[in-house]
Structures are given as C-alpha cells and as structure tokens.
Amino acid sequence: MTATTDGSTGAVPPRAASASENTTTADNEEDAAPEAAATAQDTARRAVQRATDFLLARQDEAGWWKGDLETNVTMDAEDLLLRQFLGILDTDTAKAAGLFIRGEQREDGTWATFYGGPGELSTTIEAYVALRLAGDAPDEPHMARASAWIRGQGGVAASRVFTRIWLALFGWWKWDDLPDLPPELIYFPKWFPLNIYDFGCWARQTIVPLTIVSAKQPVRPAPFPLAELHAHPRDPNPHQPLAPVASWDGVFQRLDKALHAYHKVAPRRLRKAAMRSAAQWIIERQENDGCWGGIQPPAVYSIIALHLLGYDLKHPVLREGLASLDRYAVWREDGARMIEACQSPVWDTCLATIALADAGVPADHPQLVKAADWMLAEQVVRPGDWTVRRPDLVPGGWSFEFDNDNYPDIDDTAEVVLALRRVKHPQQDRVDRAIERAVRWNLGMQSRNGAWGAFDVDNTSAFPNRLPFCDFGEVIDPPSSDVTAHVVEMLAVEGKAHDPRTRRGIDWLLAEQEKDGSWFGRWGVNYVYGTGSVVPALVQAGLPGSHPAIRRAVAWLEQVQNDDGGWGEDLRSYRDVAEWSGRGESTASQTAWSLMALLAAGERESKAVERGVAWLAETQGEDGSWDEPYFTGTGFPWDFSINYHLYRQVFPLTALGRYVHGEPFSGKGS
C-alpha cells in the first residue's frame, strides 16, 4: 500500500495482475510446464516439511494449539478502567498496559482497530484515558496529539455508547446523556420484540449486565479531569435534533426518551426484582473457569454489575471472574501486557489438525491422536442458550474457547468433525459417537432459510441493531456463507450431500454468490475468505469444477490475484466493496484461502496456483513460519477485527499440503 503523511497505509489497493501478465505464450508454456511443475512440487514439499515441523513443535502437552488473538487496545484500556473502578489497579499492571498501548499509537496520535487502518475515535479516547491512568501527562507530545485529534473529530460526544459508559462510571459523562437500558428487559417473553434472545449471544451476555449498570448509574471519584477531550468543554454534549418520527431512527430515539422517563418512575419493587433476575441470569452463565462465554467484554460488565449489587471482590463469583480475566493477559518479552478479547484453542486445534493431516502427517501420529483426545473431551453435552429456539435438540457441539459450555458454535463443530475424520484413533467407536452427536446437533441448528448462523437459529430480528444503545458493532447472528459452507462440507464428508437439509444449504449458498463470482465473508476478511470457504464445500458436496458458480469464483480469484502472486484483502472492503473487494497486501492466510478454493475447483496446474504456491514458499521464514501483521479475522465486520496469530501457519500449511498431496477426501458428494 501507499504510505500517507499521517503514518497510515493509504486507501490505494495493490494492483492485481492483468490476464496478460498471468499468462505466457502457448509455446513457452508447453516448453516450461514440466520443469516448472517439478520445481513447484519440490519447493512446496520443502515448505510443507518446514511448516509441519514448526506447527508440531508448538502443540501443548495437553494436546491443544492456541495462537495469540490480537484485537485492539480497547481491551487493554477497559481492563485498566475496570480495575480503577474496583479500586484494584496496581502500578505494575498500569505500567505494562501503558507500554503496550503506547506502542500501538500511530504517528498522528491516534489508535486504529486493525493494522494499517485509519485512526478510530472511540478507540483513541479509551487509549488516551488508559494512558492517563498509567501516568502519562496530558501535555506530553503523544498525548497532546491524541487529544487534539479527538477534539477535531467531535470529542467524546461523537464516540460510541460503550466508550461514554466507561466515562460515565467516573463522572466524565452524564448518565442522562446515554441511552437507557432497563433491567426489566429480562422479563420480555421470548416471542416479544427486543427480548434478550433476539440479540446475538455475545451482545446478549453484554447487555444483561449493562441493564444493571444502567439502572444503578454509579459514579466513582474521577482521578483527573478530561476536559481536553471535549470539542466544546462548556457544552460537552451539544443538542442534536431527533431524526424524523417516520424513520426507524426517529422511532427508536423517541423510545429511548420514553425509557429515560420510565427510569425516573420505575416501580422500586419491580426494578429490584428485575435486577435480581438479571443477576441470577448472569451467575447461571458463569463458566467453570470463572469467565462468561469465554470472551472478555461480558466478563468485565458482569463483574461491575454484580459488584454494584453488593457482591464483594472476595465473593467466589467475583473472585473467579477476576481470575479468569487475568488469563486473557499475554505478557510480552519487553514487559508489555496485551489483553486478548477471547482465546481460540478449539478453533486453533481443529484447524492445526486439518493442516497437519492434509500436509501428510500420518493419521495415527501420536500428536494428532492427542489432539483428537483433547477435542473429544471438549465436546459440549449440556444445554445452553441455543435451547430457547431448539428445546428438544440433544447437545453435541463444540465451542471456540477453553470454557464456554453455554455457547457452542456451529462453525467450530463442523471443523472439529472434519478434523476428527482425518485422525486414525484407537477408540474409533468413541470418535464415531461424538461425530454422530455433533452432526445431529448441527443439522438441528439450521435456520429457516436453509443456512446456518454461528451460535443461534433464526437470530435475524432487525430491531436490535436499531437501538441507540447498539452502536458498537453487529448485535445479531444471521446465517453466513462461510459458516454455512463449513457445515455443508462437513455434511458431505459424512455422506449427507444428498440429504434435503444439505441441499437447502447448497441452494442458499448458490443464491448468495455475488455478481462478480465471490462470496461475502462474515467471520474472515472478506470476499477472499467467503470464496475460499464456499468453493471447497460446493465441490465436496458434488458440484463439478465446470459448474458455472465454480467457474465464476475461479475467474474472480484469478482477477484479484496480486502482482506478487499472493492474495490479500483489506478490511476496508466491508465499507467500500467496489474499491476493496479482493484487494489488499498479500497475506499468508488469504493466499492460502484462495489456493484452497482453486485447488478444490481443479485448478492445480493453473498459472494462478503456481504463482500462489511460489509466493507462499518465498515468504516462508527459515523456521517454517510466516509473518502476518494484517488482520484477516473478524468479530464484527469492520467494527471489531482480529489477527489470529495461528492463521498465518495453519492455512498456508493446509493449502500447500493439498497442493502436494491432493484433496483430503475422495468420493466427492458421497
């Protein structure tokens, strides 16, 4: 990308190679093809061996793999704010967090939400406040640049609701100037609009504790003023006219005004009962390791909510909750402390198992068997929130994290099954029983439209996203192409390609293909991920490589291949499809996704595959790893981006392994 004067990477996508640059004359191709193929094979084999050794050496003794899950500095800032609110912030923690946050600041004084991205207002505000807590003075140059930029963007008043909630906890913002979220929401029946189960599980777990915080409206003494972050210090929250009453925004803005009025007259007994019910809901969903849902945000707000209701920090619920938060901390060699928003051992382990098996590691290799044992022990066999929509379905999925029995996810379950099928286990009956249960659960989680979401069935209500409170990213969990593709691929491998439910999934995927031949990626960036997920699934389910949908996808991938032979896609494609779809600096994971699609489509001997394999081999480090600073994963498209540190390893190994050894399963569509 082109460097800009503010230190960011400019919004100028790399130029993809033209069709003429991707081809040579027929005579030259005929002369060079055998020698080039042999050379590519040898190069790929060497890369596979190095990558295999690297990955095997990083398995935990218990059988799992886990790479760091890097997001943005709001995780670190909010960790400090939580500790300040609870009165437990210590100097060492503040110093280590400050070191990390300071190191992520851009030259213009801002913080971004992904590598190479633009400065983001709410992230910059939270980072600035965290550095104040760490001892940085407002007149230091890096702080002055940040506050000036914040004021220029409209100040605190223009930030997201979550940021202003954190500031309200210390009196830096007025509770009356925040959207209201009543705890009585817990009593809304499951059929009623805006009941808690209309929200995606990640939003649900966050919103329920925040209803208590919203009702209590606590204010702790501020350790310092923050007037420098307001565009208009004398009027921090200038009046904004309401949207027209006939618009959805106008309707929900007026609903919020009604809720503020209700807050002042809410029956005391009803409100107390609602807060007790919300607290019970929270406590019932605490995991065995003390976390909530295996992710950081619900844990943070649950601890605050319960503390406000009188739970002291020595209470087992809060004590274990705080201990679980400590486990999200990654301490770096320089003393910096990075907070993970989540941890991904199940996801990383199934992807690592697939990669190693496809790279030629024997199916009965002890480390693969150990990985299978660990995954089998992690299967979720008790009910969770998903039973609200599927009360009679027998549990059998897998979650993403070490501990998250309440919210197994459909994507992990499909990929774990695909991983287990690659392992020759000494107790095959045990594996078969687990897989049978998982397949039944995944089939039962199919939405009405034939596709699959990540955690829930038919979680598609349009109302939650319209609430003034919900400006922090995606708050519902509709079906997506990437998850649906992984389920379809798994079902095909399990001999269910012709099952009517699988065919409905296939039909949905075909209808979702973009005009240019790509598919949207919900949980990975973006059209490259979607296409890299869907094409192998469709081929596995029996579509021939000559199918028009497959040919359109191949043509699109060839069109967006970069000059260097790799593929990349910037997160800006979620905002500007025309300019950024399939465009960005080449990355190891995105190049691998493209190769996996092309190989599945029968393009093994193509020039595009040859160049992609060469790029992966040329960019591999001497230790067998790849470097990938770019964020290729998502939590919420654009709003919350993820750099999975193991993606750079497992996906290139999978792609190269399939190039060398062929597709992992024969008998397509069986």
Task: Please list the active-site residues.
Answer: 411
b/e per residue, 165-199, with b = 16+ CB within 10 A? bbbbbbebbebeebbbbbbbbbeeeeeeeebbbbb
618: closest CA among 662, 565, 660? Answer: 565
Taking residue 328's Cβ as centre, other Cβ atoms within 10 Å add up to: 20
Task: Report residue 70 as tokens.
Answer: 């890097």
Q: Mind spelling out the 3-state secondary structure of 346-365?
A: HHHHHHHHHHHHHCCCCCCC
What angle separates helix 428-444 from helix 366-377, to the nearest 10 degrees? 50
Pairing of strands 337-339, 640-644: unpaired
What angle separates helix 500-512 from helix 527-540, to the nearest 10 degrees? 140
- What is the rounded CA–CA span in Å between residue 670 and residue 665? 10
- What is the rounded CA–CA span in Å between residue 587 and residue 115? 13
Q: Contact 57/630 with Cβ under 8 angstroms?
A: no
Task: Specify the DSSP class assigned to residue 393.
Answer: P
DSSP H stretches of helix in 287-382: 296-308, 316-326, 345-358, 366-377
b/e per residue, 495-504, with b = 16+ CB within 10 A? ebbeeeebbb
Three-class secondary structure of residue 481 per DSSP? helix
Three-class secondary structure of residue 89 per DSSP? coil
Task: Specify the DSSP class assigned to residue 342.
Answer: B
- What is the rounded CA–CA span in Å between residue 337 and residue 327? 11
- What is the rounded CA–CA span in Å between residue 480 and residue 439? 18
Task: Specify the DSSP class assigned to residue 337.
Answer: E
b/e per residue, 410-422, with b = 16+ CB within 10 A? bbbbbbbbbbbbb
**Residue 405 exposed, middle or buried by CB count within 10 Å (0-12, 13-18, 19+):** buried
